């Protein structure tokens, strides 16, 4: 059994250290008030037993809490007081250099918590370490100077989660929709170099990747671009190739008809689309931003985003090529094609592509094959989204966060492609996220509904206070801090020295109230899952209350607060540990090392894929600031009909959903099936090749979707347990579904 030290590194559990600490406190009290040697050993053994039952590595603070509780249980209060005093004194000494120790443990690559904090960051790489070092300093400054004490304590206790505190010291926002159209059509500036309108599709793709790298280094969340903004440059290349081909024929003295010229030119257009798309895929994957990771890029593929005719057909060709290349994958260091994490792809299901015989149905079939092989694209239903977003269809920012329907009244960003009367989405962004732990509210209420809503109201006030800290940190930010964002078109074209303040109001940007653990919260309060018809109304009432608060705050501040279904990447483990510390092990509520993302059905619950999507659709509607539903499926490359059946169900029933398949490779033996999760001799969950027994994570490629994005750098113990316990929602033999 292992424990996690304060520095984040792991070490073997040593019961003698507990015994020694209790003995020291014991010697400080008069002999008649002391514990016996047998009692000291019994307390130590009880603590060891409790650590074993946790099913994960306990941290030092948790163990010290257990020791305190055990001493108190023997009614030796004077010994308990001495132990608490000693612990507090040591804490004061450590407080002065805790950040130093955290940074040193990062540099030595033995900080187990940070190693698995982000499933797309490799903590052994210098640039990642540099980012993490800066993050530790930022978190320290944020905790000591920038946030109110009650917000910090609530964050540390797992009552709320103040996201991305490692970037909070800087004036940075979360995620965005890049106004790529404005930048490509009207020019931009990258690293003080003027970039004019590209003269070909491949050049446009190259510029787009440079823009992506610059933006990713200027914010901490995901960014989304649309292929619709690149599609017009296909025609630019087509015209160029027609001129070139015609000149080549004339130079060779060959008479050629327009049809012959066009045929050759069109072949070159296809080749250029291939090169351009390949450039996007490989450059996004190989780019390393200043925070030590590939950009969290989402590529939006929506045919109806461009006018019908030549441009839409060109967009269809670009989408088709994007899917072909993603199906192929990218080569790992062994030269084997594997599933890349980025870019994330989103494909819109619409009337012209969802049914057999429709104009673009073949592209939809290709998307299904891509999903079965590489886990992307994810799917947005045009029909459902129009109903929920005032008739508009647009991509999410990052993994799942959606902008509110546009309510701006003017060209606040000075965008050169602004059209009066047309709702605007590209160029808008999210200010940040604070998440409330719903499970903690339930457990704190002890099952009393009146008390639950009292605590709920208290937590909402705290969340608003924390969210306003995020907002106020951005107020006064001058455009000079990130010229690519604020001055050269990605988000705005403000003047040098101008603040971004006007972009924080009137709905131009959003700010997100996240929530986690609706399933466990409902189970604690009602005795059953929120999928139980008797319990569903309570879960929906929570969602409606969250929305009511956001609407109230919006009216008070003129800021677009919005409900966000938090993906909880590493925070799922943190929340679970905090709940266990505060309330102990409660069956079905705190008995795992993770809690459920947002409104999702619990990963262990047996439920049919179509039933799950239908059920979660009503909660997705109440998460307007961001939500995604998924179904867990087996290997589907030979079952494309089943994938299409799910896609057609998504089109009719839910706005945004994905299929979670598996895509692994063992570098030791070449096995390309599913890498398994097993428990080692220390009780730790590890990954193992079922073919050769390889457990070296550096010699395997594992891809899993855990929070909207695909992760490839492995996960903490809580998230790993969640992945291990996922049940399938679609059986291998299931081909079609008659409902819908």
Select which of 320, 569, 722, 734 is catalytic: 569
Select which of 51, 66, 172, 175 is catalytic: 175
pLDDT confidence bin for 736, thresholds 50/70/90: very low
Task: Confirm whether 134 is domain-assigned.
Answer: no
Domain CATH for 464:
3.20.70.20
Task: Confirm whether 469 is domain-assigned.
Answer: yes
CA 236, CA 199: separation in Å to the nearest integer?
7
Active site residue 425: no
Q: Same structural domain for residues 452 and 569?
A: yes
Task: Confirm whether 230 is domain-assigned.
Answer: yes
Residue 90: pLDDT above 60? yes
Residue that the structure tokens 């108190």 belong to: 72
Select which of 174, 226, 479, 547 is catalytic: 174
User: Are 234 and 269 contacting, i.e. CB atoms less than 8 angstroms apart?
Assistant: yes
Q: Same structural domain for residues 207 and 331?
A: yes
Q: pLDDT tens, 561-570?
A: 999 999 887 8
Q: What residues are paired with 194 via a beta bridge?
A: 189
Q: Same structural domain for residues 242 and 164?
A: no
Q: Same structural domain for residues 471 and 547?
A: yes
Active site residue 689: no
Last residue of a domain, one of 96, 111, 135: 96
At residue 485, the pLDDT reads 98
Active site residue 564: yes
User: Which residues, in sequence order, are CB contacts of 647 under 8 Å at separation 6+?
Assistant: 349, 354, 364, 367, 368, 379
Last residue of a domain, one of 96, 129, 149: 96
User: Which residues, in sequence order, are CB contacts of 439 under 8 Å at separation 6+?
Assistant: 516, 517, 520, 521, 524, 575, 579, 589, 590, 595
User: Are 678 and 652 contacting, i.e. CB atoms less than 8 angstroms apart?
Assistant: no
Task: Confirm whether 477 is domain-assigned.
Answer: yes
Q: Same structural domain for residues 81 and 36?
A: yes
Q: pLDDT tens, 438-455?
A: 999 999 999 999 999 999
Select which of 430, 445, 479, 509 is catalytic: 430
Active site residue 711: no
Specify the pairing of strand 685-688 against strand 676-679: antiparallel
Q: Same structural domain for residues 332 and 427?
A: no
Select which of 83, 524, 564, 656 is catalytic: 564
Lowest pLDDT segment from 85-94, 372-381, 398-407, 676-685: 85-94
User: Are 296 and 341 contacting, i.e. CB atoms less than 8 angstroms apart?
Assistant: no
Select which of 8, 292, 329, 708 is catalytic: 708
User: Are 104 and 699 contacting, i.e. CB atoms less than 8 angstroms apart?
Assistant: no
Number of domains in the chain: 3
Q: Same structural domain for residues 62 and 165?
A: no
What is the domain extent for residue 567?
A: 159-175+406-607
Q: Same structural domain for residues 87 and 230?
A: no
Lowest pLDDT segment from 7-11, 505-509, 586-590, 620-624: 7-11
Last residue of a domain, one of 342, 358, 382: 342
The rounded mean pLDDT for the chain is 90
Q: Same structural domain for residues 303 and 428?
A: no
Active site residue 385: no
At residue 378, the pLDDT reads 95
Q: pLDDT tens, 310-337?
A: 999 999 999 999 999 999 998 888 888 8
Please, is 472 exposed, middle or buried when counting C-beta atoms within 10 Å of its C-beta (0-12, 13-18, 19+)? exposed
Residue 98: pLDDT above 70? no
Q: Same structural domain for residues 324 and 427?
A: no
pLDDT confidence bin for 693, thresholds 50/70/90: very high
CA 705, CA 374: separation in Å to the nearest integer?
11
Q: What residues are paired with 626 via a beta bridge?
A: 401
Active site residue 630: no
Q: pLDDT tens, 139-194?
A: 888 888 899 999 999 999 999 999 998 889 889 999 999 999 999 999 999 988 99
Select which of 172, 385, 397, 550 is catalytic: 397
Select which of 205, 399, 469, 666 is catalytic: 399
Q: Same structural domain for residues 456 and 564?
A: yes
Active site residue 558: no
At residue 4, the pLDDT reads 75
Q: pLDDT tens, 368-394?
A: 999 999 999 999 999 999 999 999 999
More confident residue, 118 or 421: 421
At residue 182, the pLDDT reads 98
Q: Same structural domain for residues 311 and 282?
A: yes
Active site residue 46: no
3-state secondary structure of 585: coil
Task: Confirm whether 229 is domain-assigned.
Answer: yes
Active site residue 401: yes
Residue that the structure tokens 């113990």 belong to: 717
């Amino acid at each position: 059994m292992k424990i996690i030290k304060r520095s984040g590194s792991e070490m073997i559990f040593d019961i003698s250290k507990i015994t020694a600490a209790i003995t020291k406190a014991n010697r400080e009290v008069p002999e008649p008030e002391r514990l016996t040697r047998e009692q000291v050993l019994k307390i130590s053994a009880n603590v060891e037993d409790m650590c074993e039952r946790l099913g994960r590595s306990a941290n030092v603070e948790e163990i010290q809490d257990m020791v305190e509780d055990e001493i108190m249980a023997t009614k030796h209060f004077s010994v308990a007081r001495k132990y608490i005093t000693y612990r507090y004194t040591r804490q004061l000494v450590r407080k002065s250099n805790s950040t130093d120790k955290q940074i040193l443990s990062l540099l030595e690559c033995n900080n187990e918590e940070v190693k698995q904090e982000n499933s797309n960051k490799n903590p052994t790489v210098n640039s990642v370490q540099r980012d993490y070092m800066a993050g530790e300093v930022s978190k320290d400054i944020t905790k000591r100077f920038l946030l109110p004490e009650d917000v910090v304590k609530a964050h540390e206790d797992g009552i709320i989660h103040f996201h991305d505190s490692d970037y909070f010291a800087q004036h940075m926002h979360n995620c965005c929709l890049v106004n790529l159209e404005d930048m490509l059509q009207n020019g931009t500036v990258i690293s003080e170099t003027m970039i004019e309108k590209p003269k070909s599709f491949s050049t446009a793709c190259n510029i787009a990747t440079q823009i992506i790298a610059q933006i990713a280094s200027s914010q901490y969340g995901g960014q989304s671009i649309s292929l619709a903004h690149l599609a017009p440059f296909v025609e630019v290349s087509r015209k160029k190739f027609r001129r070139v081909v015609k000149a080549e024929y004339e130079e060779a003295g060959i008479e050629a008809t327009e049809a012959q010229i066009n045929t050759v030119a069109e072949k070159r257009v296809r080749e250029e689309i291939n090169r351009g798309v390949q450039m996007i895929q490989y450059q996004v994957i190989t780019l390393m931003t200043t925070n030590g990771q590939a950009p969290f890029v989402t590529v939006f593929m929506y045919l109806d985003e461009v006018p019908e005719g030549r441009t839409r057909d060109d967009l269809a060709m670009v989408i088709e090529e994007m899917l072909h290349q993603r199906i192929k994958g990218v080569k790992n260091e062994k030269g084997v094609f594997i599933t890349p994490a980025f870019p994330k792809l989103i494909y819109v299901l619409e009337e012209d592509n969802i049914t057999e015989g429709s104009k673009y149905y073949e592209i939809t079939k290709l998307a299904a094959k891509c999903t079965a092989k590489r886990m992307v694209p994810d799917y947005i239903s045009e029909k459902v989204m129009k109903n929920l977003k005032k008739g508009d269809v647009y991509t999410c920012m990052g993994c799942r966060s959606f902008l509110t329907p546009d309510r701006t009244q003017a060209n606040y960003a000075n965008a050169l492609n602004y059209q009066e009367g047309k709702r605007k989405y590209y160029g808008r962004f999210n200010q940040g996220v604070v998440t409330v732990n719903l499970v903690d509210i339930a457990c704190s209420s002890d099952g009393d509904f009146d008390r639950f809503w009292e605590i709920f109201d208290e937590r909402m006030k705290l969340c608003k206070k924390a969210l306003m800290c995020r907002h106020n940190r951005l107020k006064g930010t001058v455009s000079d801090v990130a010229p690519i964002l604020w001055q050269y078109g990605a988000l705005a074209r403000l003047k040098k020295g101008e603040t971004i303040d006007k972009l924080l109001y009137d709905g131009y940007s959003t700010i997100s109230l996240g929530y986690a653990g609706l399933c466990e919260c409902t189970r604690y309060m009602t005795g059953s899952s929120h999928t139980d018809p008797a319990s569903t109304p309570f879960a929906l009432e929570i969602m409606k209350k969250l929305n009511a608060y956001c609407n109230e705050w919006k009216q008070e501040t003129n800021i677009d607060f919005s409900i966000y279904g938090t993906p909880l990447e590493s925070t799922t483990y943190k929340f679970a540990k905090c709940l266990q510390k505060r309330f102990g092990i409660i069956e079905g509520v705190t008995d795992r090392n993770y809690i459920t993302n947002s409104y999702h059905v619990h990963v262990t619950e047996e439920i049919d894929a179509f039933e799950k999507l239908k059920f979660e659709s009503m909660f997705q509607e109440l998460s307007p600031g961001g939500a995604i539903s998924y179904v867990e499926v087996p290997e589907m490359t030979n079952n494309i009909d089943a994938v299409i059946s799910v896609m057609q169900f998504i089109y009719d029933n839910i706005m945004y959903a994905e299929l979670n398949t598996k895509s692994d490779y063992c570098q030791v033996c070449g096995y390309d099936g599913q890498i398994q999760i097993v428990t080692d001799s220390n009780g730790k969950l590890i990954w193992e090749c079922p073919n050769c027994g390889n457990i070296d994570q550096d010699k395997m490629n594992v891809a899993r979707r855990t929070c909207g994005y695909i992760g490839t750098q492995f996960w903490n113990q809580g998230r790993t347990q969640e992945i291990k316990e996922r049940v399938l929602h679609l059986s291998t033999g299931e081909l079609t579904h008659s409902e819908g």
